[in-house]
A and B are shown apart, each in its own frame.
Chain A
């Protein structure tokens, strides 16, 4: 069924250079070897295409496949897997139970890990400290999962021998987390307390398909520090 028609598929990605959510999609597209046009969006002045493609949320990333928009990063990753399921690697397990486990941990990353990282990013003083502690607690849960969950333990990635759904969900955040640790002088992924997770982050960041799309760490750190100053002055003004 899938023949040369795939090469004519036109894929666009609306995104930004610092967003972990956009990075998730770029990683998935890179791993699958899918060509696409990347359209840098200015979130202070959203394009008509973005507003038309994601009228409900007006957020990035948006994947446009042959004119049809798909929104929400992990939803896009699932779509990429399903629309190109004959292309290796498989980003989502085939077995329904393993899929449910993968979706559970991706949801954990979106519902717990992400908001706390954002809390560290936006917070100051006591509030920031609280978010740092919660982030560390979340990462310890992931460390435990890597150690004891039969789907993950003893394997290089959450996805097994290759990068999968959970790796992408968490991996999209790594560049941001590393820059955030520098910018706030905090440790979120502690190599001593989280040896498996720490090894996983090194392995993931150096993987083929990932390292090519990682953002410039210097620019990311600049962005984080500049934005934090803005948040602090807004908080002081209130």
Chain B
């Protein structure tokens, strides 16, 4: 079994922005593993040469630099952190191949289904927004079912895992969305497990310390929505 002297040392840097839920994912993984790193705030209106050189294909954050070598895409970075520091608890990814496949399935579900709905509600108006709300509620019901089947505190089991990080990083945005649109997305009666999970996640050690300030996020979200509301319809 791997022992502490095998623990890779080296320089870890994270390029990110303070509001991005994708950056939050990586910060949570690093915090849970107790990995020290240098955080570099990027200005997306004026991307740094380091960012452009580290992610030339997408020019997006987050980017993790480990001993100068860049890793891109949030959930790929989280898996990289787990595999590189696999001897450090907690394990973010299940050991069993089947359980891993289930975890990856739900991570893809969060990014392919939940993400676009959140954006649709945030940016949309009228019927379009309503349709996105209905789809998001349907997606959340699937996640409620997944939690009920697992019967544990987190999607990852007794501790936070890959799916918790993928979905949980969006929790603040979900709450803010509920505030700015005045729509309840995770109704406690219909989705008691999901609601409880969200509160538990946001309070967890390793998570609460890295979450962006809620008041600032609300301001940021309201500003974007106002800008979209003022813009002419139909892009």
Interface string of B83-103 (1 = CB under 8 A from A): 110000000000001101100
Q: Would A107 and B76 be within 8 Å (CB), given that A70-B98, A75-B104 are in contact?
A: yes
Question: When the two chains form their complex, are residues B83 and A107 in contact, meaning their CB atoms are under 8 A apart?
Answer: no
Closest B residue to A106 by beta carbon equals B76
Question: When the two chains form their complex, are residues B79 and A103 in contact, meaning their CB atoms are under 8 A apart?
Answer: yes
* A235 adjacent to chain B (CB < 8 Å): no
Which of B76, B79, B98, B109 interacts with A83 by CB under 8 Å?
Answer: B98
* B179 adjacent to chain A (CB < 8 Å): no
Question: When the two chains form their complex, are residues B105 and A72 in contact, meaning their CB atoms are under 8 A apart?
Answer: yes
CB distance from B152 to the nearest CB of A (A): 19
CB distance from A203 to the nearest CB of B (A): 24
CB distance from A39 to the nearest CB of B (A): 19
For B71, the chain A residues whose CB sits under 8 A away are: 97, 100, 104
For B77, the chain A residues whose CB sits under 8 A away are: 100
CB distance from B175 to the nearest CB of A (A): 25
Question: When the two chains form their complex, are residues B98 and A68 in contact, meaning their CB atoms are under 8 A apart?
Answer: yes
For B228, the chain A residues whose CB sits under 8 A away are: none
Question: When the two chains form their complex, are residues B84 and A96 in contact, meaning their CB atoms are under 8 A apart?
Answer: yes
Which of A82, A104, A141 interacts with B97 by CB under 8 Å?
Answer: A82
Question: When the two chains form their complex, are residues A107 and B73 in contact, meaning their CB atoms are under 8 A apart?
Answer: yes
Question: When the two chains form their complex, are residues A79 and B101 in contact, meaning their CB atoms are under 8 A apart?
Answer: yes
Q: Would A70 and B79 be within 8 Å (CB), given that A56-B142, A75-B108, A96-B84 are in contact?
A: no
Question: When the two chains form their complex, are residues B98 and A103 in contact, meaning their CB atoms are under 8 A apart?
Answer: no
CB distance from A111 to the nearest CB of B (A): 9
For A56, the chain B residues whose CB sits under 8 A away are: 109, 142
A interface, by DSSP: helix, strand, loop or mixed?
helix
Interface string of A43-77 (1 = CB under 8 A from B): 00000000000001000000001001011100110
Interface string of B42-85 (1 = CB under 8 A from A): 00000000000000010000000010010111001101100110
Question: When the two chains form their complex, are residues A79 and B83 in contact, meaning their CB atoms are under 8 A apart?
Answer: no
For B142, the chain A residues whose CB sits under 8 A away are: 56
Q: Would A83 and B69 be within 8 Å (CB), given that A99-B83, A100-B80, A107-B76 are in contact?
A: no
Closest A residue to B108 by beta carbon equals A72
* A78 adjacent to chain B (CB < 8 Å): yes
CB distance from A31 to the nearest CB of B (A): 17
Cα distance, A107 to B100, chains bound together (Å): 18
Question: When the two chains form their complex, are residues B105 and A104 in contact, meaning their CB atoms are under 8 A apart?
Answer: no
* A108 adjacent to chain B (CB < 8 Å): yes
For B57, the chain A residues whose CB sits under 8 A away are: 108, 141
CB distance from A208 to the nearest CB of B (A): 25
Question: When the two chains form their complex, are residues A78 and B101 in contact, meaning their CB atoms are under 8 A apart?
Answer: yes
CB distance from B184 to the nearest CB of A (A): 23
Interface string of B201-223 (1 = CB under 8 A from A): 00000000000000000000000
Question: When the two chains form their complex, are residues A103 and B69 in contact, meaning their CB atoms are under 8 A apart?
Answer: no
Cα distance, A56 to B141, chains bound together (Å): 11
Cα distance, A103 to B57, chains bound together (Å): 14
Cα distance, A79 to B108, chains bound together (Å): 15
Question: When the two chains form their complex, are residues B73 and A78 in contact, meaning their CB atoms are under 8 A apart?
Answer: no
For A104, the chain B residues whose CB sits under 8 A away are: 71-73, 76
Question: When the two chains form their complex, are residues B109 and A100 in contact, meaning their CB atoms are under 8 A apart?
Answer: no
Cα distance, A76 to B109, chains bound together (Å): 15
Cα distance, A82 to B98, chains bound together (Å): 9
For B76, the chain A residues whose CB sits under 8 A away are: 100, 103-104, 107
Cα distance, A83 to B95, chains bound together (Å): 11
For A72, the chain B residues whose CB sits under 8 A away are: 104-105, 108
Smallest CB-CB A-B distances: 3 pairs: A82-B97, A96-B83, A79-B101
Known: A75-B104, A82-B101, A96-B84. 7 other contacts (CB 8 A): A75-B105, A96-B83, A99-B80, A99-B83, A100-B79, A100-B80, A104-B72
Binding site for A on B (CB under 8 A): 57, 66, 69, 71-73, 76-77, 79-80, 83-84, 97-98, 100-101, 104-105, 108-109, 142
